[in-house]
Amino acid sequence: MKKLVLFVMALMVSVAANAQFEKGKAYIGASLSGLSLDYSGSDKGHLGLQGMGGFMFADNLLAMARVAYDKQKDVPYTMTLGAGARYYIVQNGLYLGAGASWKHASGYNDLLPTVQVGYAFFINGSVTIEPEIYYEQSFKNHKDYSKIGLRVGLGVYL
């Protein structure tokens, strides 16, 4: 009986997750990075906030835009605008993403291609906690501005 209950619960979770990655769904998200959770040659520590919005243009494919704000110790703030896409590999929330961002600060502009892998963990039918590992490649200065890190966010699938 215990195995049957677990099977039914797993089936319900997979059906609920499947419904969220269908064509026509909207996505709104926010994430937090930094707090010494990423590393690059020039960072001594920083806090990053980002907001995202997107639309599922096909099953399991999300097109998204993002805006971000970073404040680093002893460095002026940076603003970032970007666009990208996510592909949900399996219906339980595992995804791969790719995109590009334009980062601007006083006296600094850079184009950053980005890749990420993450997991959309559903805490109810439409709200997720989304940890992801990301890599940003700097065209301006690879050694000091390319970055690998961890982001934790919240997402809402409408």
Nearest to 116 by CA among 82, 92, 91, 150: 150
Distance from C-alpha of 67 to C-alpha of 58, rounded to nearest angstrom: 23
Please state the pTM of the whole predicted model.
0.74
Provide the token pair at 144.
């000091």
Nearest to 144 by CA among 54, 41, 45: 41
Q: What is the pLDDT of residues 80-138, one digit of tens each?
A: 999 999 999 877 789 999 999 998 888 888 899 999 999 999 898 889 999 999 999 98
Residue 46, pLDDT above cutoff 80: no
pLDDT confidence bin for 49, thresholds 50/70/90: confident
